[in-house]
Amino acid sequence: MTSSKSYSLLELSKLLETTLIGDGNAIVDNLKTIQDANDSSLSFVANQKYSKYLSSSKALAFIVHPNTIDGIDEGNYLVTDDPYLAFAKASSLFSSNLIKQNIGSVHPTATVFPETNLGKNVVIGPNVYIGPNCSIGDFSSIRANSSLVSDVQVGSNTHVHNGAVLGSDGFGYAPSKDGYIKIEQLGSLIIGSDVEIGAGCTIDRGALGDTHINDGVKLDNQVHIAHNVELGSHSAIAACCAIAGSTVIGKNFKMGGLSGVLGHLNIADNVTVGAHTLITKSIKESGEYIGIMPAQKPKDWAKSSIFIKRRK
């Protein structure tokens, strides 16, 4: 989104809680990578491997760590021990955040159950459906084409991106001689505050108890979370992952894309799972877990595959 906002470096140094080196009256009007910057850009070096571009970049000013400019005696800098965090805060200053512009509005094309408990300053987007027994906390948003099916509590400052389905029926059936008999899902989905639910995610409400997505959780797009899962606070899950029913996951869980956790497991705090990995057992010890089959040329893969299958 092209921003029309501009700031002096003096203003920015205060807003971003950084130390200014250089011209406080200089005006920046956009935020760019060090390679794409123009002569009115603010840029940043969060990873030392990009510091080599400092001298050739066109940016007017840079957010940097003190070490990055050690021995450099010209240019404009906003200096901080955590340049990436200062960059994140700067991104908000240059964003024309549509949600903030529409605060407090329910789009006329949304279908919202009359008893829904809508907090202050919520945004309900176009074509959203909100069913019975739902509540939305202050400053939260439900974006276009999402559904809150039934019995969903959303905390404050939580954002549900487009096309997500929350509070859907969990996948539960009892086998019988007449085929599967559906287990009606009587529980709720309880989502904390400061949560983001990516586009196209699906999170089922509980079967008898509840599904819990705790404070500060961030879900990328197309993540699926089954009924009665508890996902610990400040967890971050990449795209296209799935967590099966009744699994309880601790705080600060991280998972790469296309990965999964089987049902009815317990996962400790501070566990990190690689991409394209399946967790099949409970994990008591924090740390990293990975189970990627290495990709090879077809001939080599065929040999590895036969070798793996022969181990009997």
DSSP 8-state code for residue 75? S
Nearer to a copy of itself, 94 or 139 (CB): 94
23 lines the binding site for a copy of itself (CB under 8 A): no
Closer residue to a copy of itself (CB): 74 or 297: 297
Among 51, 75, 131, 286, interactor with a copy of itself by CB under 8 A = 131
**Shortest Å distance, C-beta 129 to a copy of itself:** 4
Segment near a copy of itself (CB under 8 A), from 17-25, 55-63, 70-78, 211-219?
Answer: 211-219
- Active-site hit among 159, 161, 212, 227: 227
Neighbouring residues of 61: CB distance < 8 A, sequence distance ≥ 6: 9, 12, 22, 26, 28, 41, 42, 43, 75, 76, 77, 78
d(C-alpha 14, C-alpha 5), whole Å:
16
CA nearest to 80, candidates 92, 98, 94, 62? 62
Catalytic site includes residue 227: yes
- Would you give the binding string for a copy of itself spanning residues 36-75, x where CB under 8 A is met? x---------------------------------------
Distances (CA, A) of 78 to 18, 19, 178, 261, 311: 5, 5, 69, 42, 59
Site membership for a copy of itself, residue 32 (CB under 8 A): yes
The answer to whether the CB of 237 falls within 8 A of the CB of 218 is yes
Binding region for a copy of itself (CB under 8 A) out of 21-29, 57-65, 116-124, 194-202: 194-202
Instruction: Confirm if 143 and 159 have CB atoms less than 8 A apart.
Output: yes
Q: Which is nearer to a copy of itself, 76 or 233 (CB)?
A: 233
CA dihedral of 71, 76, 82, 87, whole degrees rounded to 10 = -150
- Give the shortest CB-256-to-a copy of itself separation in angstroms: 8
Of 39, 49, 115, 309, the one binding a copy of itself (CB under 8 A) is 309
Q: Which is nearer to a copy of itself, 48 or 288 (CB)?
A: 288
- Cβ–Cβ < 8 Å for 184, 168: no
Stretch that binds a copy of itself, among 19-27, 63-71, 72-80, 302-310 (CB under 8 A): 302-310
Q: Is 17 in the site for a copy of itself (CB under 8 A)?
A: no
| 196 touches a copy of itself (CB under 8 A) | yes
Binding mask 140-179 for a copy of itself (x = CB under 8 A): ---xxxxx-xxx---------xxxxx--xx-xxxxxx--x
Residue numbers 256-285 binding a copy of itself by CB under 8 A = 256-260, 262, 273-280
Q: Which is nearer to a copy of itself, 24 or 183 (CB)?
A: 183
Q: How far apart, in whole angstroms, are the C-alpha atoms of residue 131 and residue 291?
A: 40
Closer to a copy of itself by CB, 25 or 260: give it.
260
Listed residue (256, 259, 260, 249) closest to 282, CA to CA: 249
Long-range CB pairs of 49-56 (<8 Å, 24+ gap) are: none
Contact, 283 vs 267, CB < 8 A?
yes
Q: Residue 1 is encoded by which pair of tokens?
A: 């989104």
Q: Which residues are catalytic?
A: 227
